[in-house]
């Protein structure tokens, strides 16, 4: 990713993030979150993580934030526009921000800032040699072919990681989401006695 | 140089192929509906040749009202662009752009044809050959919903708002059916790159017409077996595309009889035209996606494609242009199908739409994923496991049908 693109999308993201709290209108804030997410997705794409970037847009921008916007519009939050600025939440927010920044700085300070190898054909071919057989998924399949051809099959790599190394966590997460969905329906469903 | 080529491709494919298809489909819409309703339709508008000093006998240039879309466009440009006083201005201006831009952006992953060779340089006929084709289209297309929702909200008026809210609910619901219905196809091809998907269909038979190119890794029996989940996926996908593009059996966001004009009631002139263009561009892209995934994309079929792609004339490999023409012909045919459906099937009721999406398509697509997975995995499994899986699938299907019928039984029992 050329660095000017990185700075541009970072700027989009930061402006979006600031706008979320700067706007008093809830719909404008929600749209600022969308802007922020689009910038984030662009950064993912810039890191050659196309799948993650697209899922970011598909799930968060295209589904979650649409529902947020939907709720905000239906609630018609007019009072929110006129609300005064209370001191304690602002101080709390500032404190959280400072704590997070301090943590980030401390992590970055201890991290040796070594440049990772470029994602060129050489690196990819080397990476294909490190693939190992895992069950019925062989190391000489589509992934190795794509890596040897010098392209990054990021969807296949994520799928491989999910279904080999993280298979059990994935299943558990699926069950967890299902339970959450069922629980949500059970809680929100009001049954009235049938007269 | 690379950037220049990319720019040429964007201009050529997006602005010279996809965008002109929008007025063309508007023209087809008007002519085709006229045929269905036993009318004549716009058949007069031609280039005013007398203005340029020609006689009127050179009628071939304006035959059949082909210039009608240009006249419509000029009319919309020249209309007063009126902004009502009660709207939320910034969002009101943003909304039309958010409707039309995503539809045009998605065109960049559609493979329009095989590579063209010119002056010893081979160029793919796809703007961005991404490995995440269908997902990219879904992701960008899902931004369209903001345009319609914001249009409804920023109009600050009752009926447009209802139209916007309806469209949000409708598009979110059908996105799920859309995404789930394409999973069997992705399982079958094992790839998310649309170029590879089309190439595979050109070599081994279209997904819905698997009649050629059998070999050891693509046996005829497996392809014919997979025809069934593919057909179910095609049905769900096509109907969901209709709902996503707000086309006729499901055009609730603009339902005239209930909502005046829906989300674009307060819009006039070019801003209205952009909503109009957005709808048709989404339809063109939707057709292109269906054709690409299910109907072989640019492929002519029956093993002729490698011959066509190798055609060349003195170093100019023009086979790709023939494939481009085949692709456009298929897309136009599918657009005609869109139009046929619009003028034959009456509008659904809103609860029927939601029920179709959530109770029928969602479950059918889910079962279809398992059916497809079973068929794809069958060659690697033992007979007992296959029959066990089939039995389990049958039980699940029966249970889903039973639940759907039970949920139908007492509609008045729940009160929100």
The domains of chain A are located at: 1-83, 118-195
- Fold assignment, A1-83: 1.20.120
Please report the pLDDT score of residue B291 as a whole number: 92
Distance CA B276, CA B11 (A): 21
Please report the pLDDT score of residue A79 as a whole number: 56
If DSSP codes are grouped into helix, strand and coil, which group holds residue B414? strand
**B214 to chain A nearest CA, in Å?**
20
C-beta atoms of A58 and B139 within 8 A: yes
C-beta atoms of B135 and A54 within 8 A: yes
Please report the pLDDT score of residue A195 as a whole number: 47
In terms of phi and psi (left: phi > 0; alpha: psi -120 to 50; beta: otherwise), the region of B114 is beta
> What is the domain range of residue B88?
2-47+66-409
C-beta atoms of A155 and B131 within 8 A: yes
Question: pLDDT means per 10 residues in chain A (195 residues)?
Answer: 84 91 84 91 88 90 85 72 73 91 88 72 77 68 76 82 88 94 85 58
CA separation (Å) from A136 to A107, A141, A164, B219, B368?
A: 40, 11, 10, 21, 24
Q: What is the pTM of this model?
A: 0.86
Q: How many domains does chain B have?
A: 1
C-beta atoms of B139 and A61 within 8 A: yes
Please report the pLDDT score of residue A101 as a whole number: 93
Using an 8 Å Cβ cutoff, are A38 and A57 in contact? yes
Residues from chain A contacting residue B171 (CB–CB below 8 Å) = 66
Q: Which contacts (CB < 8 Å, 24+ apart) does range B344-353 have?
A: B344/B36, B345/B248, B345/B249, B346/B249, B347/B248, B347/B249, B347/B250, B347/B251, B347/B252, B347/B255, B348/B249, B348/B250, B350/B166, B350/B252, B353/B170, B353/B243, B353/B250, B353/B252
Identify whether B21 is part of a domain: yes
Identify whether B54 is part of a domain: no
C-beta atoms of B153 and A73 within 8 A: yes
Please report the pLDDT score of residue A98 as a whole number: 94
Instruction: Indicate the burial class of B408 (C-beta count within 10 angstroms; 0-12, 13-18, 19 or more).
Output: exposed
Residues 6+ apart with CB under 8 A from B347: B248, B249, B250, B251, B252, B255
How many residues would you count in chain A? 195
Q: How many CA atoms lie within 13 A of B233 on its CB side?
A: 28
Please report the pLDDT score of residue A103 as a whole number: 92
Which chain B residue lies closest to A68 (C-alpha atoms)?
A: B168
C-beta atoms of B142 and A189 within 8 A: no
**A130 to chain B nearest CA, in Å?**
22
**A190 to chain B nearest CA, in Å?**
7
C-beta atoms of B135 and A63 within 8 A: no
Residue ranges for chain B with pLDDT beneath 70: 1, 48-49, 53-64, 252-257, 407-416
C-beta atoms of B191 and A74 within 8 A: no
Residues from chain A contacting residue B146 (CB–CB below 8 Å) = 31, 34, 66, 69
Which chain B residue lies closest to A152 (C-alpha atoms)?
A: B131
Residue B13 DSSP symbol: I
Distance CA B270, CA B77 (A): 6
| Residue reference for tokens 């059949």 | B64
Among the partner-chain residues B132, B138, B380, the one whose CB lies closest to the CB of A155 is B132
Decide if A6 touches B, using CB distance below 8 A: no
- At B407, list the tokens: 């949920």
**Neighbour tally for B40: CB within 10 Å:** 10
Please report the pLDDT score of residue A10 as a whole number: 92
Residues from chain A contacting residue B140 (CB–CB below 8 Å) = 57
Instruction: List b or e across B250-285, with b for residues whose CB sees 16 or more CB atoms inside 10 angstroms.
Output: bbbbbbeeebbbbbbbbbbbbbbbbbbbbbbbbbbb
Decide if B182 touches A, using CB distance below 8 A: no
Rounded (5°) CA angle B411-B414-B416: 125
Residue B80 DSSP symbol: -
- CA B16 to chain centroid, in Å, comes to 18
Residues from chain B contacting residue A154 (CB–CB below 8 Å) = 131
CA separation (Å) from B68 to A108, B65, B134, B145, B336?
A: 63, 5, 34, 29, 18
């Amino acid at each position: 990713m050329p660095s000017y693109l990185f700075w541009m999308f970072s700027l989009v993201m930061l402006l979006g993030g600031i706008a979320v709290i700067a706007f008093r209108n809830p719909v404008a804030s929600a749209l600022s979150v969308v802007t922020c997410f689009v910038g984030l997705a662009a950064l993912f794409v810039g890191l050659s993580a196309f799948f993650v970037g697209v899922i970011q847009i598909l799930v968060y921008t295209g589904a979650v934030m649409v529902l947020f916007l939907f709720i905000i519009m239906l609630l018609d939050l007019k009072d929110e526009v006129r609300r005064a600025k209370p001191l304690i939440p602002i101080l709390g927010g500032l404190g959280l921000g400072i704590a997070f920044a301090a943590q980030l700085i401390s992590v970055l300070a201890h991290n040796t800032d070594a440049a990772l190898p470029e994602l060129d054909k050489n690196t990819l071919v080397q990476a294909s040699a490190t693939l190992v057989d895992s069950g019925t998924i062989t190391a000489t399949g589509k992934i190795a072919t794509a890596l040897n051809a010098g392209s990054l099959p990021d969807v296949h790599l994520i799928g491989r990681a999910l279904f080999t190394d993280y298979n059990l966590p994935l299943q558990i997460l699926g069950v967890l989401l299902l339970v959450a969905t069922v629980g949500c329906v059970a809680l929100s469903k009001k049954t009235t006695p049938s007269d | 140089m690379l950037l220049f080529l990319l720019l040429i491709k964007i201009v050529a494919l997006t602005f010279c192929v996809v965008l002109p298809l929008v007025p063309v489909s508007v023209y087809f819409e008007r002519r085709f509906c006229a045929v269905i309703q036993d009318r004549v339709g716009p058949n007069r508008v031609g280039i005013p040749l007398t203005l340029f000093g020609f006689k009127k006998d050179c009628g071939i240039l304006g035959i059949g009202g082909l210039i009608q879309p240009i006249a419509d466009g000029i009319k919309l440009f020249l209309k007063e662009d009126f902004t009502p006083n009660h709207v939320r201005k910034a969002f009101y201006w943003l909304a039309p752009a958010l409707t039309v831009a995503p539809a045009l952006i998605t065109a960049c992953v559609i493979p329009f044809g095989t590579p063209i060779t010119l002056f010893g340089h081979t160029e793919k006929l796809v703007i961005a050959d991404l490995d995440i084709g269908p997902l990219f289209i879904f992701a960008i297309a899902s931004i369209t919903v903001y345009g319609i929702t914001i249009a409804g909200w920023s109009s600050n008026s009752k009926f447009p708002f209802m139209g916007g809210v309806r469209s949000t609910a409708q598009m979110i619901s059908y996105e799920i059916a859309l995404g789930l219905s394409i999973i069997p196809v992705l399982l079958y091809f094992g790839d998310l790159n649309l170029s590879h998907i089309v190439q595979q269909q050109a070599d081994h038979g279209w997904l819905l017409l698997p009649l050629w190119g059998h070999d050891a890794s693509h046996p005829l029996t497996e392809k014919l077996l997979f025809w069934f989940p593919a057909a179910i996926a095609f049905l769900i996908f096509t109907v969901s595309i209709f709902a996503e593009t707000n086309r006729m059996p499901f055009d609730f966001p603009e339902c005239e009889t209930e909502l005046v004009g829906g989300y674009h009631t307060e819009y006039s002139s070019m801003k209205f035209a952009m909503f109009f263009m957005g709808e048709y561009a989404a339809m063109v892209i939707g057709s292109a996606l269906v054709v690409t995934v299910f109907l072989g994309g640019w492929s002519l079929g029956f093993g002729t494609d490698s011959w066509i792609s190798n055609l060349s004339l003195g170093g100019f490999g023009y086979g790709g242009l023939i494939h481009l023409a085949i692709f456009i012909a298929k897309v136009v045919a599918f657009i005609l199908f869109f139009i046929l459906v619009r003028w034959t099937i009456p509008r659904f009721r809103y609860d029927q739409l939601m029920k179709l999406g959530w109770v029928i398509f969602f479950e059918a697509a889910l079962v279809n994923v398992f059916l497809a997975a079973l068929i794809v995995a069958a060659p690697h499994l033992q007979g007992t496991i296959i029959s066990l899986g089939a039995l389990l699938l049958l039980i699940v299907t029966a249970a889903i049908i039973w639940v759907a019928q039970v949920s139908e039984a007492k509609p008045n029992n729940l009160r929100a």
